[in-house]
Amino acid sequence: MIQSGKIVQTMFLLTTIATYYYLSWLNKEKGFVPKIRKIAALDAMEEAVGRAAEMGRPVHVSPGTPGAAESIEAQTIAGLAVTSHVSRLCARNGVPVIATASRPELLPVLQEIVKEAYKAEGVGEAYNDENVRFLSDNSNAYAGGVQGIVEREECAANIIVGKLYGTANVLFGRATVAGKTIQIGGTAYYLVVPHLVVTCDYVLMGEEVFVAEAYLNQDPKQLITVFAQDIFKIISLGLLIIGLLTYSMGSNLVIDFLNT
Amino acid sequence: MSNVLRVKLPLMIISIILVVIFTEYFLILPSSISNFVSELQQWIVILAAFAIVLGAFNLVKIHLPKISKSKEISDKFLNAWLIAIMTITIVIGLIYGTTSSQYTFIFTNLLSPVSTAVWSIMAFYFCGAVLRTFRARNLESTVLIISTFLVASGNAPAITAFIPWYENLKTWIMNVPNVSAMRGMIIATGIGVLFTGVKMLLQVERRSTVGAGE
C-alpha cells in the first residue's frame, strides 16, 4: 500500500525506471545513442592536465566539501566520477595528482578511486598514497589547506566538482588572484555558482554536474540516463506552465495532483 | 573471484539498500522494517566515527615524516605544529570531554579566530576575482556587469535616498529574474539527484563506486 500523498512521487520514480529500460531497448534494438552538447568545463580538463604535463607540475582534484550528514550524496558521487576521470588523465600523462578529502569517510573511497585510475592506465606502481590526503572536516580549515597545497606545490590545475559552500571563494580565490593555475569548479548548489563564475576559468553549474560522468565516458547506458533526465525536465516544465495557468485561474488542480 | 568481491558485491549491496530505503519511503510497511531503515541511516554516523580515526592517521602519516624531511625551518615548524595541536586536542577531548572548559578554550580561542580570518580573507579574494572577471567580453558578461552594478549600487543608501525608485529596481532584479533562474536550477538539480539514485539502483553509476579499473 502506497503512503498517502506519495502516489504521484511513486509513479514518477517508476516511470523514470521504465523510461530508462525503454531507451535501453531502443539502444539495443535500433542503435539509439543520444548526443550531448559540448560542455566546455569538462573538455577543459584534458587541456588542464596536458598543461600540467608540459609544466611538470601536479594537479589538485577534490569531490567538494560536503557536510557531515551528506558526505556521500549525489553531488559528491558526481565529484568522485570527475576525480576518477582526472586521475586517469594524470596517470596517462605522468602528472602527479593530489586528491584531497574534506570528510574522513571520503578518504578511503578517494584512495581507492585514484589507485584504480592508475591501475587502469597500467601504471599502478606510480600511485603515491601520500598524494591522497584528508585535510579537515572544518570547511574553513579545508579551504585554507587546499589554498596552501595549490600554492606550495605549484599545482597547474585546481579541479573541484561536488557539493560546495561559501568557502568556495577561498578554495579558488588565492590561485585566481595569482592567475597561474587553471581552475575548474562545479556545483549544483545555486548560491555558490556566482562564486565559481568569478573565481574559476571554467564552471559546471547545476545539472551539468550530474551529467559529467556520462559526458566523459560517452557510455551509451549513461547517455541514455541523461536523455531520460531531459524528458523529465520537459515534463516538469509542462507541469509548471499548466500549474501557473490553472492557479492564475483560481484552480489548485496541479497542486492537488502532485500532493496525491 | 576478485571481480565479484570488488565490483559486483558492492554494487549489489548498494542496489539492495536503495530498494529497501525507497520502499520504506513510498510504502506503508510494518514498523520493524521502518525501524531497520532508521537504523541503517544511523550507520553513516558509525562509519564516520571510524573514519575520523583513519583521517587522523592519514594526517600523521603525511605530516610526521615531513618534520624531518622538510628543508625549510618554517615547513618543519608548521608540520610539527599541526601534529602537536591535533594531539593536544585529542588528548584533552578524551580526558576532559568535548563539553569541558579546556576543550571549549581551544575551540573559541584557536579555531574560531582562525576560521574568522579565513572568512575575512574572502572579501579581498572576491574583489580580485571580480576585477579579473568583470569584463564585457560578450552579451552574457555585459548583462552580468550591468545587473551587478544595479544591485550593488541599489544597496547604497546615498543613491536610494536621492532616487527612491532605484531600490524597487534592485528588488525587482533580485526577486524576478534572479529567483526564476534559481528555481529553474533547483528543479533541474532535483531531477539530476533523482536520476543519480536511479542510476545507482540500476548499477549504471559505477565510476564513483568501483573506480575506473573495472
A183 and A56 in a single domain? The answer is yes
A163 touches chain B (CB under 8 A): no
Which residue in B58, B199, B173 sits closest to A102, CA to CA?
B58
Q: What pLDDT is stored for residue A161 in this prediction?
A: 95
Residues A189 and A237 both lie in one domain: no
pLDDT exceeds 70 at position A72: no
Q: Confidence class of residue A47 from pLDDT cuts 50, 70 and 90?
A: very high
pLDDT score at B87: 93
CA angle, residues B184, B185, B188, in degrees to nearest 5: 85
Average pLDDT over residues A70-90: 87
Q: How many domains does chain A have?
A: 2
Same domain, A66 and A15: no
Give kind and range of the element (H or E) at residue A98: strand A97-101
- Asked if the structure places residue A1 within a domain, the reply is no
Nearest CA to CA, how far is A98 from chain B (Å)? 13
Of B59, B115, B194, the CB nearest to A16: B194
Residues A63, A167, single domain; the answer is yes
Among residues B37, B10, B35, the alpha carbon closest in space to that of B21 is found at B37
Which residues, listed in sequence order, are joined to residue A60 by a DSSP beta bridge?
A98, A158
pLDDT at B94 over 70: yes
Q: Do A49 and A109 belong together in one domain?
A: yes
* Nearest CB partner across the interface for B204, out of A71, A104, A221: A221
- Please determine, for residue A17, whether its predicted confidence score (pLDDT) is greater than 90: yes
Q: Same domain, yes or no, for A114 and A91?
A: yes
Q: Cell digits for B181?
A: 533562474
Determine the pLDDT at residue A149.
Answer: 92
- How many angstroms away from the CA of B125 is the closest CA of chain A? 5
Mean per-residue pLDDT, B122-132:
78
Q: Is the domain of A249 the same as that of A160?
A: no
CA of A176: how far to CAs of A36, A137, A154, A166, in Å? 30, 24, 13, 16
Where residue B29 falls among pLDDT bands split at 50, 70, 90? confident
Residue A2 domain flag? no
Alpha-carbon distance of A184 to A160, in angstroms, equals 6
Q: Please state the rounded mean pLDDT for residues B18-35.
A: 87
Please name every residue paired with B27 in a beta bridge, in sequence order, or none if there are none: A2
Optimal mutation site among A25, A111, A210, A211, interface B, most CBs of chain B within 10 A: A210
Q: Which chain A residue has its CA at the smallest distance from B82's CA?
A: A135
Write down the pTM of the prediction. Answer: 0.89
- Distance, in Å, from the CA atom of B36 to the CA atom of A74, rounded to the nearest integer, reads 23
Residues A112 and A181 in one domain: yes
pLDDT at A222 over 60: yes
Q: How confident is the model at residue A133 (pLDDT cuts 50, 70, 90)?
A: very high
By percentage, how much of chain B surpasses pLDDT 90? Answer: 25
Q: Binning pLDDT at 50, 70 and 90, where does residue B213 land? A: low
List C-alpha distances in Å: A234 to A240, A241, B72, B184: 10, 11, 59, 12
The three-state secondary structure class of A123 is: coil
A-chain residues within 8 Å CB-CB of B186?
190
Residue span of the structural domain in which A232 resides = 7-32+219-258
Residue B214 vs residue A207, higher pLDDT: A207
Is the dihedral angle over the CA atoms B10, A137, B98, B86 positive or is it negative? Answer: positive
* Interface pTM, i.e. ipTM: 0.88
Strands A202-205 and A182-187: parallel
What is the reported pLDDT for A87? 95
Domain at A69, CATH number: 3.40.50
Q: What are phi and psi of B7, to 5 degrees?
A: -115, -60
Domain shared by A113 and A161, yes or no: yes
Tell me which H or E stretch contains B74: helix B73-96
pLDDT for residue A18: 94
User: How confident is residue A71, by pLDDT bands cut at 50, 70 and 90?
Assistant: low
Contact B198 A221 (CB under 8 A): no
Is residue A64 scored above 70 in pLDDT? Answer: yes
Residue A79 lies in a domain: yes
Residue with cell 574572502: B122
Structural domain contains residue A13: yes
What is the pLDDT at residue A208? Answer: 92
pLDDT reported for residue B179: 92
Same-domain status, A110 and A208: yes
Inside any domain, residue A11: yes
* Per-residue confidence (pLDDT) for residue A101, from 0 to 100: 93
Q: Do the chains contact at B197 and A119, CB–CB below 8 Å?
A: no
Lowest mean pLDDT among A177-181, A201-205, B115-119: A177-181
Any idea how long chain A is? 260
The string of pLDDT tens digits covering residues A153-165 is 999 999 999 999 8
**What is the nearest CA distance from A175 to chain B, expressed in angstroms?**
9
